[in-house]
Structures are given as structure tokens and as C-alpha cells.
Amino acid sequence: MWKKLMIAIWGTALMAACTSSRASSPSASPSPPASASTSPQSPSSAPLIDPANFVTTIDNPYYALSPGTTFVYEGTKEGDTQRDEVVVTNETKVILGVTCVVVRDTATHQGDLLEKTDDWYAQDKDGNVWYFGEDTAEYENGKVTSREGSWQAGVDGAQPGIVMLAHPEVPRSYRQEYYQGHAEDMAWVVSLDRPIKVPYRSLDQTLLTLEWSTLDPNVIDRKYYAAGIGLVAELSASGPKETAELVSVSP
């Protein structure tokens, strides 16, 4: 039953990413947030970023990023166990005139480094959390093997996207990133009250989104966000089986 539902939702969501904008519905493109004159939907409709519209604190209830906070996730990827430590650093990076918070994600398998990524986020005055890019590296035997997926808004045509809406509503969809041929993630809000149990705690109500890349539309993830916490779980809905569940938050 769930698999059939996911297939139906994927088909509708893909249509939403491809059709022209009329209204915020499963069969229409994302509508723009209040702080941007255009939504990040296509290469020709880059969002207009005004640094004056951004604030220095990221306190969106579903995606709060307070410097010094560490989120630990455990799960599986490509058949192996994986541990991710996501640290909200005190570092910042200015992109397109906007001061972004640097979030460092380190993935390991039994202590061996698999991947290290610096992600760059900023929040606008309305409360939308924007994603301005990432510097990522994959490792094997301690050496960098790939930097595929790295991008920075404003460089080589790359555009920022929204990673979390200020006021998520079903069935809102939106582009999270855009660097043609390298990073083209989309998200679709499908529930505001989905219960889930993760090692960190049991939650009666979470925001559920479906997230996928137009570069590989057969791979879809379910992501669960809890107000006051943030991302609590990422589970594959189609494609290779991957999981990541929140284990701890500190301090």
C-alpha cells in the first residue's frame, strides 16, 4: 500500500517540478516564498537574493541551527552502517552578500571517514531557511576520491534554494538547490502530523517531506522534521535502501 502511494506521489511531484506555475497544488510548480520575487524553479528563474532580507539567526522550528549544537545520526548506506555527526559551527561564509552558517557533516563507517561536507545555510526575515551550497568530499583509505556534488550559489550558474519553508503546508513543493547536472534536489510537503519513533525519542507529530533529485528521479527519500528539534529521520521510499535516524542532540 505504502509503495503504491509513494509511486503515485512521485509521479505527481515530478509533474509539479515540470509544469508551469499556476497554484500551489500537486499538479503545479512551487510558489515563491514571500522574500523572493521568483522561486528557484528553473535556470531562467533564479531567485533574487537581497542580503538585507536575511537575518543572522537560524531559528526556524523545523530547522534551527544554533552554533555549538551537534546532531548524531545512525543508519545504513550502500549496505554498510553509517554514522553522521552534524555540527553547527561558529564559522560563517559570505555568499552573494549573505552571511551563511557553516554546518559540518562528517560520515564514518566503524571509525573510517567516508565523507565530509560543509553546508552553507541562511534564514530570511520571513523564516525560510535557504541553502547556498556545499563543499563535499568523499574519502577512501583516508584520501579524497571525489568532490562531485560540491557547488556554491552564484558560481557557474548555481542557484540557492530553500531547505525549509517558514510555514510548511501540504501540498507545497519547492526547489532546494540548483547546479545544473550536479545538484538538483526538490522537496514536497506531504504531512504535518506524521508520528515516528527514532532512537532519540518517540514523536507524535512530525513534518514529512518527500525529497528527490531531478538527476535521479527514481530515488526518493522520506524526511521527518520535528518542531524544536529539526531533522529526526531520513528513510528511503524508493531506490537503494538507506536510513538515518537521530540518536542524540547536544548540548
Nearest by Cα to 222 from 32, 2, 61: 2
Radius of gyration of the chain (CA): 17
Coil, strand, or helix at residue 15? helix
Q: Which residues make Cβ contacts (< 8 Å) with residue 86, sequence separation at least 6? A: 70, 71, 72, 73, 103, 104, 105, 106
Q: Which domains are delineated in the chain? A: 2-33+43-250 (2.40.360)
Question: Do residues 32 and 39 lie in contact, with contact meaning Cβ atoms separated by under 8 Å?
Answer: yes
What are 234's three cell numbers? 531520513
| pLDDT, tens digit only, all 251 positions of the chain | 433 344 444 444 433 333 333 233 333 333 333 333 334 444 447 899 999 999 999 999 999 999 999 999 999 998 999 999 999 999 999 999 999 999 999 999 999 999 999 999 999 999 999 999 999 999 999 999 999 999 999 999 999 999 999 999 999 999 999 999 999 999 999 999 999 999 999 999 999 999 999 999 999 999 999 999 999 999 999 999 999 999 999 99
What cell was used for 58? 537560524
Please give the angle made by the CA atoms of 86, 199 and 137, to the nearest 5 degrees. Answer: 25
